[in-house]
Structure 1
Amino acid sequence: MVLFEPNFAIHRTMKRADIKRRPLADTVLASLEPEAKEYREPYGADRLYFLVKPNGRKRWEVRYKRPDGKWGWHGLGSYPDISAKRAREKAAAAQQLASDGIDPVQYKAAKRLSDHAVTLNPFSESVAYWYQRKIDDGLAESTLRLMRSFLNNDILPALGEKPIRAITPRDCAALQEKIEARGATNTRDKIRVALRQIFSQAIARGLCEVNPAAELVAIAIKKPKVEHHPHLLESELPPFLKALRNSTSRTPCWR
């Protein structure tokens, strides 16, 4: 009589000498035994290899020819985090780079550096730089106070925490549209000028390559037509005052 079923799986292992076919099946990848020294087993096309370390950790590597003609290894990630299918895709991409004369290892390092740079330099730092330059230029306190108002109320809440390289023309357009929606076209114009200047300074400082606020004026709505209050010309004043004296109307008395 069976009282209970064991609640565990039996993990079978496999020696690499027992490999019968390639590309290696998932069951083989999972069960390959480690040895005293790390070893690589060819997986299939694109010079893709499966590496097993003495501690049992496994990862993918691809063998490629560098631009100088020498052979090199490029790591593609650990197993099982990177599946066999994904490893094949990454190996093919690496070989394509190599065939184009680009070292995949150097390309990966440059991309990592570029991606890291995107997360640096929040827009708020460039805003602070721009504002300090305005102070250094000796602008009046009333003007600086107005700048602080639209910086704190509009620009910084919308864009301040974004990496400057990640800000797009759509981000800037959305900010402009939000300001226009409340009818503050004068504020919109000041903010548009400020944004262009902030990004221009950032380009000059090497913090970004393009100015996403450069073309905002092309989609800005027109200012509403100014309606002047009714007024009298100087020549009309004498007859108006005469008519006013002769008028029988009186100031109403409100109870």
Structure 2
Amino acid sequence: MSTVVMARRGAPANLITQGVRRVGYEIRGYTRSFETVFFTFLFPILMLGLFSVVFGGDGATSYGPGLPAIPAVQMYLPGLLAAGVLLSGLQNLAIDIALERHDGTLKRLGGTPLAPVSYFIGKIGQVLATAIAQVIALLLFAVFVLGATLPDTVDAWMTFAWVFLLGLSTSALLGIAISAIPRSTRGASAVVIPVVLILQFISGVYMFFWLLPEWLQNVANLLPLAWMAKGMRAVFLPPEYAALEQNGQWDLGMTAIVLAIWLVVGLVLSRVTFRWIRRDA
């Protein structure tokens, strides 16, 4: 690589400018792929509608002794918000970057003035924009179609904001790291989607977390999605429902700690594993 190219890459202003330009490019590429839009954007909305209709036929239900009755949509909304964050960050980036690596896109970009930092600014900017749009669509659908209730305090929305942003950042960095695992174009979806699906089942997205065996709860608590879902439950469920958690409280402090740890893990792994060119190329 020429000295001129390296100098152009290294200028901080160039890094940011190129990254911002990439955001629009990445968003356009995202919206042109029906499979990506369906599985990372529309899937949580469809699942929320399905679960709310299937399990909400009896109206509001109390899910434990002494707990206030709430509709099914209110119970499934927190988990599917967390799942949407995971899909937008981890699944989307893991598959997208793996495909770009194996079809030669990254190799071609590696020969341009585009720096890895700018490339990832574009990717993470796209993830942030589409995740915000997904959350807005999911909440509007939950409230106006399914009758969910939104929080009415500033503290609750502040909690939602940091759980969302920290969870999305963690998911995105882990997605970048995992993108190095697939060894072929076909293997990208085959490796990533089953892992994400299993995570959703054991982390309180499709099944109520407190109904899982304790050992499985302990396993899930080692991973970020369970804490993202728990943080969302603290926002959207009545405070009395904290009694259903493992230790009877929301544990928001531990949620922040676990997600921060995984954020650092994702950052280190993505830095170590990312290459413009496949190792076996």
Give the alignment's TM-score, normalised by structure 1: 0.25
The answer to which structure, 1 or 2, has the higher relative contact order (CA under 8 A, 6+ apart) is 2
Higher helix proportion (structure 1 or 2) = 2
Give the alignment's TM-score, normalised by structure 2: 0.23
Larger radius of gyration, structure 1 or 2?
Answer: 1
Higher strand proportion (structure 1 or 2) = 1
